[in-house]
Structure 1
Amino acid sequence: MLRFFVSILLALSFLQNACADVTIGTWNLEHLSVRPNKDFQSIAKVAQKADFLAVQELMSEEALQALAKELAKQTGKHWSAIASHAVGRSSYKEMYGFVWRDDVVAYEDGAVTYLDRNDTFEREPYSARFRSLKDGSTFVVATVHILYGKSQSDRASEIVALSNYWNWLKETYAGNPQIMLMGDFNTPPNAPAWNNLDASARPLVLEGASTLSATDGKFANLYDNIFVSKNTAIRVNSVKVFDYPQFLGLTHAKGRDSVSDHAPIFLSASLGGGSGSAGASTAAAQARPGAANPMKPAASTDAVAHLASAIRGNRKTMVYHRPDCPSYNAVAEKNRVEFNSEAAAEAQHYRLAGNCH
């Protein structure tokens, strides 16, 4: 009988903790703007799987409000949103955005763009503090889109600078250990550039990939991630890269054209503690090569397939574009030619597009 009551208490405790879970998402939505080929209905079908979503490559506040409106339409719940100002050193600029379900998450305070005194970041990170309405705990979300550049070395300086940014977050939001740094880092979590941050924070996704390759069902790079403090009170239930093309029934080509060239990451966690593993990224919860589950896109074993999707040339203008270039998806399909590297494009007398930075 005692065992029976213990089992009941454990089950009730599990249910109570599960009910306190909030799903946090991060998604590079590839030049999110209100334009005919951007499928907000499909984006919202995926985004509604999170209670809170950090958005990178936001091109206008109007687009973020359009997403919040579509989310409300599909879920029957009200969604709120806030956006940073446009950031970037050149004429090409991006914004960051946060969108959340009002019955699960509330904005607390502290929305701010990082004051980058050393001008290290091409696009300064954006952060704010929120509150879970499920358990009353507060949490901080910071988001960033690291410069892609021409090589991994171009990204390294910004990755290294994230260590100082992490310290700034801890000072700015003092007393709040539930800090999450998420976004598109254009760098895998095992790169040496992360060594400085490694003493304080760790990534939740260590395997798999989050960028769409040219081959349906295969993914290329683990560039997107969520970092948490090593002593965080956050209790992770699951953290997953979501295979949105499979979920929506889209080819990768169609997905890149109308949704994004990145898949979102969804973290389900008790933000004030509870069941689960503190800061865990369990093998069962992570993306794995060859996975059929839509939550687990495969890591590509075909490097050529990935690289061919990364550099897009225009045979009419003899200009090539990287995925981070504003006109990457503007190249007409009939004029597209794929290259496995920038060097390969230049060897064919293509030149880098003038709006790529």
Structure 2
Amino acid sequence: MKLLHSALTVVTVIAVICNVVDSAKICAFNIQVLGKTKMGKPEVVEVLTKIIKRYDMVLIQEIRDADQVAIYQLLDEVNSASGNQYAMALGPRVGRTSSKEQYAYFYKHSEFQVEGSFTYVEPNDEFEREPYVVNFKSLKSLSVSDFTVIGLHAKPDDAVNEIDSLTAVYEEAANKYGTDASIIMGDLNADCSYVGQNDWDDISLWKDNRFDWLISDNADTTVSSTNCAYDRIVLAGIDAGDRSSGFVFNFQSYYGLTQEEAKDVSDHYPVYFDLY
């Protein structure tokens, strides 16, 4: 099996070098309290726009705006800077408390189209912010033409249980849309004090060999001085190599920002991978 996997990886690399297949950059980004206040800071919006333009699809998390205006403003800014390339799939406001959040997918409409979507209905109130699932059809020549994306911003203090429950979300999405190809991603709070070394055996999404985790446990997805791999990408039914296939975009270093300037943008770095 390992030999077959290696052979497939080599074939994929050769195909990419020879431009035989297309690729798409898929990203998850917790923007941290995206609302009117953040959108009122031009220097922050400029950096957010630059970041989003790097990717063909972006899961945006932690949208907190009761009037639901800020996310449309951000989409307008991105499209103004990119030549109107992006469409949006926007989930409902979710959360157990008055502090509701939304998930949004920005995606290039020339590369993907939405075939369906749903917010997961929990049998036992497993999630603080229920996952938002979108079924995408690729308009490019990718290794998968039809796949689901499952976005989650996990509650820190219940991260182990919420990540474990994502297996059931995946199975419902697979049954609903008839594809086992899926990208599960977001701020899963999957490290440090929220998910410790002894917790992984209790997480089916980690133990089940249907799932491949791309972001290394040693990665740092936080802007602050902590060193935690909170943000993750997990694949099912998609061959993307190994954990080295997932990346963290350190926008502070890339754009030469100070610590305070970077924190104004977000307390998380985006994570991404290339889908071939």
TM-score by length of 1: 0.64
Which residue of structure 2 lines up, in the alignment, with residue 306 of structure 1? none
1:67 to partner: Cα distance: 1.9
Quote the offset at 1:30 in angstroms: 0.3
Flag the 1:95–1:194 CA change in 2: closer, same or farther, 3 A: farther
Alignment match, 2:224: 213
- Structure 1 residues 194, 168: CA separation in 2 closer, same or farther (over 3 Å shift)? farther
Whole-angstrom distance in 1 between the partners of 2:101 and 2:232:
19
Alpha-carbon distance change, 75 to 120 in structure 1, aligned in 2, over 3 angstroms: same
Contact map agreement 1:84 1:96 (CA 8 A) in 2: yes
Counterpart selection for 1:250 from 247, 252, 257? 257
Counterpart of 1:142, as a letter, is I
Give 1:202's aligned residue.
212
Q: Greater relative contact order (Cα 8 A, min sep 6): structure 1 or 2?
A: 2
Partner of 1:83: 90
CA distance in 2, matches of 1:99, 1:172: 23
Q: Quick one: which of 120, 129, 144 aligns to 2:126? A: 120
Q: Which amino acid aligns with 1:90?
A: T
Q: 2:46 aligns with which of 38, 41, 44?
A: 41
Mapped pair 1:173 → 2:177: yes
Distance change in 2, residues 1:158/1:34 (3 Å):
same
Structure 1: which 5+ runs fail to align? 1-9, 271-357
Determine which structure has the larger helix proportion and give its number: 2
Match of 1:25 in 2: 27
Q: Do the aligned partners of 1:178 and 1:233 also contact (CA within 8 Å) in 2?
A: no
Partner in structure 2 of residue 294 of structure 1:
none
Indicate if the aligned counterparts of 2:64 and 2:99 stay in contact, CA closer than 8 A: no
Match of 1:185 in 2: 188
- The SS at the match of 1:192 is helix
Shift of residue 85 of structure 1? Answer: 0.7
Structure 2 vs 1, CA of residues 208 and 140 (structure 1 numbering), >3 Å: closer, same or farther?
Answer: same
Cα distance in 2, alignment partners of residues 183 and 119 from structure 1: 19
1:232 counterpart residue number? 238
> Which deviations, in whole Å up to 9, do the C-alpha atoms of 1:304-347 show, x marking residues without a partner?
xxxxxxxxxxxxxxxxxxxxxxxxxxxxxxxxxxxxxxxxxxxx
Q: Which residue of 2 aligns with 1:135?
A: 141
Measure the CA separation in 1 of the matches of 2:61 and 2:73.
Answer: 15
Over the aligned positions, Cα root-mean-square deviation in angstroms equals 2.3
Matched letter for residue 26 of structure 1: A
Change (3 A) 1:194 1:126: farther
Rounded to whole Å, the distance in 1 between the matches of 2:41 and 2:75 is: 18
Matches of 1:246 and 1:269, distance apart in 2: 25
In 1, Cα distance between equivalents of 2:81 and 2:20: 27
Computing the radius of gyration from Cα coordinates, the structure with the larger value is 1
| Conserved? CA contact 2:163–2:203, under 8 Å | no
Give structure 2 stretches of 5+ with no counterpart: 1-12
Change in 2 beyond 3 A, CA 1:205/1:77: same
Tell me the SS of whatever aligns to 2:62. Answer: strand
User: Aligned with 1:170: secondary structure?
Assistant: helix
Q: SS state of the match for residue 186, structure 1?
A: coil
TM-score (norm 2): 0.82
Kindly report structure 1 stretches of 4+ aligned residues shifted beyond 6 Å.
10-13
Q: In 2, distance between residues paired with 1:261 and 1:268?
A: 23
- 1:244: Cα distance to partner? 0.7
Query: How many percent identity over aligned positions?
Result: 26
